[in-house]
Amino acid sequence: MIEQDYFMRMISELGRVLSRISFLKGQKDFPRAVLEIQTSGRTLLGIDHTIISSLSASQLRTLLGTDPALAVPRAYILGLLIEEEADIRSLMGEDSDAMRVKSLELLLDAWLDEEKPLGEDHTARIDALLERLADFAPGAELLEKVMAFQERNGRYDRAENALYDILAAKPEFAPDALRFYRRLLLKSDAELAAGNLPREEVLEGMAGVKIR
């Protein structure tokens, strides 16, 4: 109950923060919008925003604590703040892909740890980041998170696409690939069709996995 109350208070304050940021973006007052994000990071999470660029997503997760009931929603909030800053810096003409990747990883971590979205637009934000980063080549570890996210959302064709990219970078992932296809074979034909990966394509994919 304490954790839930804490989370709801943070989400309520986050909503106000995002509204202020949206207003400042609309006014094209980008420096004040960035300052709002940095101030909010300290207020909501106790993190000095100036160190975020120098730390990986996993290092940031460590800073957020070890209690999942608190660390998971904090990762979600930090991911949103970083995403907002990435958008603003992009509007300022700066390259912000590295920030978007960090935001994506934090939002994926929070979604997967909770096994559901933490906010109304949690899933949509991840989808938007994946679209924005379509030309970016992520590492195998991040791809595994993308694959798990797509599978749990029932988007089996997208999960398989991520799987192909993982295998190209990490052939030793083949046993996990076979486990993925076996999980899909337990689904009904209707579920597989809804996930845009019919049973015959699942079987074809499984047959194409090479164990070295």
Tens-place pLDDT, residues 18-31: 999 999 999 999 99
- Mean pLDDT on 43-62: 88
Give the per-residue SS3 of 67-125.
CHHHHHHHHHHHHHHHHHHHHHHHHCCCCCHHHHHHHHHHHHHHHHHHCCCCCCCHHHH
pLDDT for residue 204: 97
What distance in Å separates the CA atoms of residue 210 and residue 206, rounded to the nearest whole number?
9
What distance in Å separates the CA atoms of residue 28 and residue 38, rounded to the nearest whole number?
17
Q: Which residue has the tokens 């202020």?
A: 20
- Mean pLDDT on 198-211: 94
Q: Which of 110, 136, 162 is the last residue of a domain?
A: 136
Is it the case that residue 124 has pLDDT exceeding 50? yes
What distance in Å separates the CA atoms of residue 20 and residue 22, rounded to the nearest whole number?
5
Residues 39 and 78 in one domain: yes
Residues 50 and 39 in one domain: yes
Residues 73 and 122 in one domain: yes
pLDDT for residue 145: 98
Greater confidence (167 vs 66) lies with 167
Q: Which of 136, 159, 180 is the last residue of a domain?
A: 136
Q: Which residue has the tokens 């990071």?
A: 41
pLDDT for residue 151: 98
pLDDT for residue 195: 98
Is it the case that residue 1 has pLDDT exceeding 80? no
Residues 175 and 206 in one domain: yes
Residues 201 and 113 in one domain: no
Work out the percent of the chain whose per-residue pLDDT is above 90. Answer: 76
Residues 131 and 142 in one domain: no
Is it the case that residue 196 has pLDDT exceeding 80? yes
- Dig out the tokens for 111 from the structure: 């979604």
- Mean pLDDT on 199-211: 94
- Dig out the tokens for 61 from the structure: 């997760």
Residues contacting 191, CB < 8 A, separation 6+: 154
Is it the case that residue 2 has pLDDT exceeding 60? no
Q: Which of 107, 136, 165 is the last residue of a domain?
A: 136
Mean confidence (pLDDT) of the chain: 92
What distance in Å separates the CA atoms of residue 77 and residue 72, rounded to the nearest whole number?
9
pLDDT for residue 4: 66
- The confidence band for 68, taking pLDDT boundaries of 50, 70 and 90, is confident
Count other C-beta atoms under 10 Å from residue 64's C-beta: 22
Residues 30 and 103 in one domain: yes
Greater confidence (147 vs 137) lies with 147
Is it the case that residue 150 has pLDDT exceeding 80? yes
Residues 84 and 183 in one domain: no
What total number of domains does the chain contain? 2
Greater confidence (48 vs 182) lies with 182
pLDDT for residue 50: 80
pLDDT for residue 3: 60
What distance in Å separates the CA atoms of residue 199 and residue 142, rounded to the nearest whole number?
27
Domain of 35, in residue numbers: 1-136
